[in-house]
Amino acid sequence: MSKLIRYITVIVALVLTGCATFNVPSDYSLAHNSNQGLVVMSLTHSVASVIVDYRPVAAGKPGAGSFMTGNMQDPLDWTHPNGRLVVAELPPGQYELYQWRAEGMNVTYTSKLFSIPFTIEAGKATYIGNLFINMDETTAKYTLSVTDTSARDLPLLIRHYPNIKQTDVTTEISKIFR
């Protein structure tokens, strides 16, 4: 029984360390955390909840995780379609969003692999745009797009995180590679 408890403890620890801090504290300051950077994006979707996976581009580098929206712990910032601002602290480096999962009608849908690359710089916030996932739950067909919605997203960022200045944010809207 002791081995089982140790095994479960290790699994739980691994799962927890794979997740990014989805929303950093509202008093977060890039000046005091210069060994880290922020990824800023909005995530919009037509289904109840979505999980988007990210990973470092360099093989074998730790730091993979997921962004989730539409659940009780991470309330939506807007509806029709559902969405929210995502702000997560990451170590500097090159990353990619590569897969998403959605739950609907008691079924989990998983996308085909794709790549939306982005770069995190220490002491900077990188805005990567709005990822919109539009899925027809009856056919499981979906469209995926990345657009620049910084006119909506950056004022929301500054309102939620007053220590982050507009000059701290770089914009890097990427294409989707399949």
More confident residue, 86 or 72: 86
Q: Are 175 and 146 in contact (CB under 8 A)?
A: yes
- What tens digit of pLDDT does each residue of 6-24 get? 333 333 333 333 344 456 8
More confident residue, 18 or 58: 58
> Which residue ranges make up each domain of the chain?
2-171
pLDDT of residue 20: 43
pLDDT band at 109 (very low <50, low <70, confident <90, very high): confident
Mean pLDDT of the 137-159 span: 89
Q: Are 53 and 68 in contact (CB under 8 A)?
A: no
Mean pLDDT of the 74-83 span: 73
CA-angle at 154, arms to 174 and 176, nearest 5°: 15
pLDDT of residue 9: 31
pLDDT of residue 156: 93
The model scores a pTM over 0.85? no
Coil/strand/helix, residue 58:
coil
Question: Is pLDDT at 169 greater than 90 in this prediction?
Answer: yes
Other C-beta atoms lying within 10 Å of the C-beta of residue 48: 14
Q: How many helices (H) and strands (E) does the chain have?
A: 2, 10
